[in-house]
Amino acid sequence: MESIEQLYTEAIHLLKDLIRTPSLSREEDGTAAIIRSYLEKKGINCHQKGNNIWCYATKYNPSLPTVLLNSHHDTVKPNQSYSLDPYEPLEKEGKLFGLGSNDAGGPLVALIATFIYFHEQQLPVNLLLIASAEEEISGKGGIESLIPELPEMSLAIVGEPTLLKLAVAEKGLMVIDARVKGRPGHAAREEGLNAIYEALDDLLAIRDFRFRKVSPYLGPSKVSATILQAGSQHNVVPDVCTYTLDVRVTDAYTLEEALEEIRQVVKADLHPRSMRLRPSRISQTHPLLLVARSMGLETYGSPTLSDQALIPYPSVKIGPGDSARSHTADEYIHTDEIKEGISLYISLLENYFSHLIQTNA
């Protein structure tokens, strides 16, 4: 078994290799190759679909529950405010700079190190690692494409920069296209039914709308009107007005429930673009939460989306780094955060495995 110090050293080297290799969403073939090569050199049998890499710590045993360790290796585009080369890892004053170092390279390499630590140990679970693609765009070629091929999971630990706090709930996202109908007419005469004015009633209702249920972790869900379109000629009363709603849904609702509440206050026909990015929540009685409390881990609700939205199983989000640094110029992570992340991941899983063994004894 490799020591935490050795795993940390290798994790930093791996992260530097990943930073050097551009991995924009849907273009992660280079980082996928690096991750797969690194794991296979450790004697780990890897599978690949698209740019997603996954592997089991030991031979899969269908009689055991499955625990997933997941983080992503795609990045957003570097913004124009970078003063450093985003693809040149720079270690300085305890920080490692580079695109994707914080989101989510640090959590990813810490989870990989944790997976290697447990590799070949006798575990009470099937330990599954997924380094996923297309997370930054919630792409269908990311982790969602693997779910039908994998066993049901009792727990997923998603690696994202959370300052090592445990996110036990996460907001989902629903984008709704709304269509209000009127009747066309000449603007100079009292003709037609102006769809813009009809839509105004809806927009005022949306402005003042409050969802009935409130999440204890994430507070109220929120709906915002973000796009409005109508008309094509100045002298024609528009017969159609469309608007777009951005809906951030907490764990207090399913997307279907949130949609129904909105439908009750508007006259428009509402058409969700997708029902994929669902809010998530883990039960307060889940064994991992019991373990986390015993360790004194701080829990919270996360307003940001991750692959949690596409994992239909109990999940939490935790990792080294700070979400506030994600997608910023000259992105960085403290190298000590990665070491602390590896240690915490290992401790959390060891305590979780001990709890399972004691419970099933």
Q: What is the pLDDT of residue 232?
A: 87
Query: Which helix (H) or strand (E) segment is 96 a member of?
Result: strand 95-97
DSSP string, 283-296: -TTSHHHHHHHHTT
Question: Could you give the dihedral angle defined by the CA atoms of residues 184, 187, 188 and 189, in that order, rounded to the nearest 10 degrees?
Answer: 40
Cα separation values, 4 from 9, 72, 334, Å? 9, 22, 17
For the chain, first and last CA: distance in Å? Answer: 26
Model pLDDT for residues 269-292, shown as the tens digit of each residue = 999 999 999 999 999 999 999 999
Which pLDDT does position 254 carry in this prediction?
96
Whether the ω angle into residue 188 lies within 30 degrees of 0, i.e. cis, is no
Residue 107 to residue 157: CA distance in whole angstroms: 11
Question: Looking at residue 1, what is its pLDDT?
Answer: 72
Residues 6+ apart with CB under 8 A from 360: 124
pLDDT at 361: 64
Residue with tokens 């939460």: 289
- The C-alpha atoms of residue 158 and residue 241 are separated, in whole angstroms, by 41
The Cα–Cα gap between 97 and 133 comes to 22
pLDDT at 74 over 80: yes
Token representation of residue 340? 């602390």
> What pLDDT was estimated at residue 189?
74
What string of DSSP letters covers 208-272? Answer: H---S-EETTTEE-EEEEEEEEE-S-TTEE-SEEEEEEEEEE-TTS-HHHHHHHHHTT--SEEEE
CA–CA separation, 326 and 333 (whole Å) = 10
In the prediction, which pLDDT does 265 show? 97
Task: Enter the pTM of the model.
Answer: 0.92
Inter-residue contact 98 to 89 (CB < 8 Å): yes
- Strand duo 269-272 + 172-181: pairing: antiparallel
pLDDT band of residue 10 (cuts 50, 70, 90) is: very high
Phi, psi (deg, nearest 5) at residue 298: -80, 135
What helix, strand, coil percent values describe the chain, rounded to 5? 35, 25, 40
**What's the chain's average pLDDT?**
96
**What is the DSSP annotation of 135-201?**
GGGT-TTSGGGTGGGS---SEEEE---BTT-EEEEE-EEEEEEEEEE-B-EETTTT-SB-HHHHHHH
| Angle of CA points 219, 225, 231, to nearest 5° | 170
- For residues 202 and 177, what is the distance between their CA atoms, to the nearest angstrom? 13
CA 38, CA 267: separation in Å to the nearest integer? 56
CB-CB contact of 346 with 115 (8 Å): no
What are the Cα distances from residue 85, in Å, to 17, 19, 78, 88? 14, 10, 9, 5
Q: Buried b vs exposed e over 176-201: b needs ≥16 C-beta within 10 Å? A: bebebebeebeeeeeebebbbebbee
Per-residue pLDDT band for 187 (boundaries 50, 70, 90) equals confident
Average pLDDT over residues 16-40: 98
**What mean pLDDT do residues 42-64 have?**
96
pLDDT at 188 over 90: no
Per-residue pLDDT, averaged over 99-125, amounts to 97
